[in-house]
Structure 1
Amino acid sequence: MSTPKTTVHYVEDKINSWQTRSPFIILFLASLVGVATGLIGSLFQIGIAHIISWRMGIADSEFSNIYIKCLVIFLITAAMGAFSYYLVKKYAPESGGSGIPEVEGALLDLRPVRWKRVLPVKFFGGLTALGSGMVLGREGPTVQMGSSLGKMLADTTKIKNKESQHTLIATGAGAGITTAFNAPLGGILFVIEEMRGEFSYTKSSIKAVFVGCISACIVYQLIIGSSPILNIGTYISVPLNSIWIYIFLGIFVGVIGALSNFLILSTRKFLDLFYQKKEYFFVLTGALLAGFFGLLTIFLPDITGGGFLIIPNVIDELYSFYPLLILFSLRLIATVICFGSGAPGGIFSPTIALGAILGVLFGICARTIFPEYDIHLGTCAILGMAGLFAASIRAPLTGIVIVIEMTSSYILILPLILTCVTATFIAQTLGSTSLYSEILNNTLDKLGIQRK
């Protein structure tokens, strides 16, 4: 007859046996990380939308004087920017920027994951920075918050094994991308491709990333909905006799991607030196930038925000060539300044918006030069989104899949591959490196840490 003690030993032996064959414990924890990331990412998106709606409501209100209206909007958004930058400066400097380089550094055991500080700072700092109208994306905050949730769960459950800790951190990062773009496969590929130099791939770790991204997607779709992020219609496949044209689109966006990375890194270096002069310069910069972009939402709203809202207008040809060229130039400058300033926001969304504009500009030119081909501007926009993403982030597979999942443009897979491979090759040929790897290297150099 079995005793309670022998029964406990039997159960423990069974669990250890199952764990040896299939690490279900780490998979269960990965699912919790995915659920938590999907929840906090969805709340983050809803919060940003409410803040923007509230701010635009104030901007649309009737004021007796336009100057009073401008002053009110400037003061409100400047206060939001000051609050965001103050949180970063005071409590978690690693929350500045997208946070993805910090995640990559954590996977190399070169950067700490101070989740108790990062989670509130990134959430509330990101809400106010993105809500003010600055040209930033929500994917960077969701990735860093997701990885912080992974580390939080590892610490809470007292997991000491480094590989398991890294697995949960990477799972949170992939779940963050999934939540930002409603793109589970994109989140998985982001970890596999972008973090290939930092993440240790094993059968169990890859399964955990899959489980986390699927869990995050389910939670996101339950809260936000299952519709693609961008509803820009459907497109026919590109005829094979004209597919070669998109090699030139890849060259075009590859050059712009390399230029964009150079400008962002140069701006970061310049502002880092500027911030060292006075302690309050960082917060002051945030206040002035947020106030300025808050004002722009009254007069030039298309230059502000992440950029997803302008993509349908660009594709529907609401802009002629030269106004579109001016819009691209202004948004490029705004992206470089906002992201380069150290705001707690990402760059994926602004980059995708810039890519859409570049694609349409290319399409207008191609239609003029090759009138015999049926060139759709929407197709060019989708290819431009993925191409510029690939050139800037140096992750062509991730760019292809994220854009496909965002737009449901599966039929464009062949020209997408052609454009992204060409764009990545051109950017690499010009000496451009991955933006996130370069930011991490600069951070480690400032701290005197040698990268492994």
Structure 2
Amino acid sequence: MTRLTGGVGRLLRQDHIRLGVLSVVVGVAAAFAAILFREGIELFQSLFLGFRGEWVASFAAAQPWWRIMLAPAAGGVLIGLLIQYAMPGGSAKGVPDVIEASALRGGRIGVRGGLGSAVLCALSLGSGASVGREGPAVHLGATIASWLSRRIGLGRSSVRVLLGCGVASAVSASFNAPMAGAFFALEVVIGHYGLQAFAPIVVASVLGAIVSRMHFGDFPAFTVPGVVEVSVFEYPAFILLGLCSAAVAILFVRSVDWAEWATTRIAVPRFVRTGAAGLAIGLIALLVPEVLGVGYEATDLAIQAQYGFWMLVLLLVAKMAATAIALGGGFPGGVFSPALFLGAMLGGAFGIVAEMPFPQHAAGAGAYTLIGMASVAAGVLGAPISTVLMLFEMTGDYQVTIAAMVAVAVSSLVTRQALGHSFFTWQLAKRGLTIKGGHEVGILQEIKVRTLLRTDQETVGPDDDIVELRAHLLKAPQAELFVVEDRKLLGILTLADLGSAAFDLETKKGPTAREAMRADPPFLSAEDDLEAAVKLFAQIEEGLLPVVEDRRTKRLIGCLHERDAMRAYNKALIRLRAEEHGEKVAD
């Protein structure tokens, strides 16, 4: 028995085996969390709107007008108060925070903030705010994965993989689409398709779908039409639909930004701002109740071609306005559902026009609706592969999927060229963060200058004369001296700073160290990271930097050679690439 236990222990210490086991745990846990989140939405929905279920517009018609108008406002006031007084950092979290954690913070997500955000988003959707539920579910799944990673003490690369497992399971459970869940995690959160990440994420995504099907049944997220014939002559129309989808995606992202800018310019307490935003949503819902919540009822009806052209246009405009007001006004929530809604309305309206010339040869408004959903969502989310896969999993129709690939490619390209960002990276950019090369940056930030410094520097006092300076320069690495007084860094001095006096050995006249030195030189502190060191070396001409204990005292403790920094940088990148592909690297 002891031998068997020891063998199991050794097996679990292997990274790929341990990740495989943990991916099962996270996949199941994240799926159950997504289910609980949806149940929480319905609980709040029954309290605020007086009914349960996703067919919000139909049920809302049976409620008194004042309830529909005031429910989002009441929810907004409560959300504003909770965010202001109970949430860490004074804000709810979402997919951008998961991307930031994966790229820049080693996968660390606060449990209190993650659980609090899930409650706030359930409250937001339950009170009728026009936001999505998939983003909050993604953050909740990632929170579970991050917590488990910290409890076990996983390394940075393994934490990121487990984070992707939580994300994949949450998306898969939300849409009953395991392929889309896996590729959304790889495409948006992880940022690569290495085998080390691919296998565990696929396992978690499949488990997310299985758990969801056990609870909700094996049904697609939307009711889709049967297999349709797509004519080759329609592909120019699909390209045009891709361009229109890009325009809607760009307008949607901009409208949220404009609404946020406008609301933050009003000097009122947060709960007043969110309450006013909720009241505006309620007023829109009195005329167009389809904007309430995730809007899946209207999306489903659009796929079934139940709306006329002008109704589709009205729903498109109303939903965009309601979602911009909700997100800009401070309601927490996602953008996946709104993007699908907008795409459905655009695609349906476009399909009605496109089939007018030759209705007998057109794929039908329902097919255009599905293609519009994929192409708008791809532009907003920056996830073209996962949105195409989600469409294929919903329809099982190769012809529609290939047509969607064309529209998605056009939409993604135009949106990225126009904005330079997806909605998620746009949010990060507004915080002053960029994830371009973020995974590499995260690795560099973990390596501290203290671990790389040497003590072979040559130091001189501020009153040392030219003879002493020459003697020290002969021994100094990189021909660079550090001028110190009572161990405090005052400046640096090189041959170029001494000028001709450095080479005139016949004279003892020349400047002292204080006279020749460059005061307030660039330096590093012991707690600076390798990223800061590499950036500083790129800005200066010297190959050596002084390292101080802290920036306040400037007490010199050593030096950092540029070659050591570059060697550590190269080793870190090699290790990162190896970890992504499940390879071992010799130290």
TM-score (norm 1): 0.85
Identity score, percent: 24
Counterpart for residue 238 of structure 1: 230
Residue by residue over 1:63-100, the C-alpha shift from the partner in whole angstroms, topping out at 9 and shown as x without a partner, is 9xxxxx54455554433222223333333366956611
Residue by residue over 1:81-135, the C-alpha shift from the partner in whole angstroms, topping out at 9 and shown as x without a partner, is 2222333333336695661110111012348844331233122211110011111
Counterpart for residue 100 of structure 2: 105
- Distance in 2, matches of 1:95 and 1:406, equals 38
Among residues 112, 116, 123, which one is paired with 1:121 in the alignment?
A: 116
Residue by residue over 1:185-207, the C-alpha shift from the partner in whole angstroms, topping out at 9 and shown as x without a partner, is 1111112212354x6x5433222
1:159-238 mapped onto 2 (5 Å cutoff): 159-197=153-191, 202-238=194-230
Greater strand proportion: 2
- Distance in 1, matches of 2:169 and 2:206, equals 8
Among residues 348, 355, 374, which one is paired with 1:367 in the alignment?
A: 355
TM-score (norm 2): 0.67
Displacement of 1:222 after TM fit? Answer: 1.0
What letter is aligned with 2:237? I
Say which is worse superposed, 264-273 or 426-435, in terms of deviation.
264-273
Relative contact order, CA 8 A, sep 6+: which one is greater?
Answer: 1
RMSD: 2.9
Residue by residue over 1:408-442, the C-alpha shift from the partner in whole angstroms, topping out at 9 and shown as x without a partner, is 44442210111111111222333442111121122
The 3-state SS of whatever aligns with 1:189 is: helix
Counterpart for residue 428 of structure 2: 440
Q: Does 1:147 align with 2:142?
A: yes
Q: 1:95 to 1:404 in 2, by over 3 A?
A: farther
Q: 1:318 to 1:108 in 2, by over 3 A?
A: closer
- Distance in 2, matches of 1:76 and 1:324, equals 25
Residue by residue over 1:2-53, the C-alpha shift from the partner in whole angstroms, topping out at 9 and shown as x without a partner, is xx8xx45x75366435754x62222211211111111111121133234435
Contact 1:98 1:140 in 2 (8 A): no
Structure having the higher Rg: 2
1:172-321 mapped onto 2 (5 Å cutoff): 172-197=166-191, 202-274=194-266, 277-278=267-268, 280=269, 282-294=270-282, 296-321=284-309
- Distance in 2, matches of 1:418 and 1:307, equals 26
Q: 1:445 to 1:387 in 2, by over 3 A?
A: closer
Contact 1:134 1:289 in 2 (8 A): no
Greater helix proportion: 1
Counterpart for residue 462 of structure 2: none
Contact 1:179 1:217 in 2 (8 A): yes
What letter is aligned with 1:33? V
- Distance in 1, matches of 2:205 and 2:353, equals 40
- Distance in 1, matches of 2:106 and 2:428, equals 10
What letter is aligned with 2:345? I
Q: Does 1:90 align with 2:82?
A: no
Q: 1:395 to 1:73 in 2, by over 3 A?
A: closer
Q: 1:413 to 1:324 in 2, by over 3 A?
A: closer
Structure 2, gaps ≥5 residues long: 52-58, 442-587
Among residues 126, 138, 161, which one is paired with 1:131 in the alignment?
A: 126
The 3-state SS of whatever aligns with 2:330 is: coil
Among residues 30, 34, 37, which one is paired with 2:27 in the alignment?
A: 34
- Distance in 1, matches of 2:40 and 2:12, equals 42
What letter is aligned with 1:205? A
Q: 1:83 to 1:327 in 2, by over 3 A?
A: same
Q: 1:366 to 1:206 in 2, by over 3 A?
A: same
Residue by residue over 1:283-308, the C-alpha shift from the partner in whole angstroms, topping out at 9 and shown as x without a partner, is 22222333443455454212222121
Q: 1:307 to 1:97 in 2, by over 3 A?
A: farther
1:381-392 mapped onto 2 (5 Å cutoff): 381-392=369-380
Contact 1:34 1:216 in 2 (8 A): yes
Displacement of 1:176 after TM fit? Answer: 1.7
Contact 2:273 2:330 in 1 (8 A): no
1:390-429 mapped onto 2 (5 Å cutoff): 390-429=378-417
Contact 1:364 1:377 in 2 (8 A): yes
- Distance in 2, matches of 1:112 and 1:84, equals 27
- How many residues align? The count is 430
What letter is aligned with 1:179? A
What letter is aligned with 1:25? R
Contact 1:82 1:286 in 2 (8 A): yes
Q: 1:296 to 1:407 in 2, by over 3 A?
A: farther
1:66-81 mapped onto 2 (5 Å cutoff): 69-81=64-76
Residue by residue over 1:148-178, the C-alpha shift from the partner in whole angstroms, topping out at 9 and shown as x without a partner, is 0001111222x14111222222211122211
What letter is aligned with 1:151? S
Displacement of 1:136 after TM fit? Answer: 0.7
Q: 1:227 to 1:390 in 2, by over 3 A?
A: same
What letter is aligned with 2:143? S
Q: 1:245 to 1:92 in 2, by over 3 A?
A: same
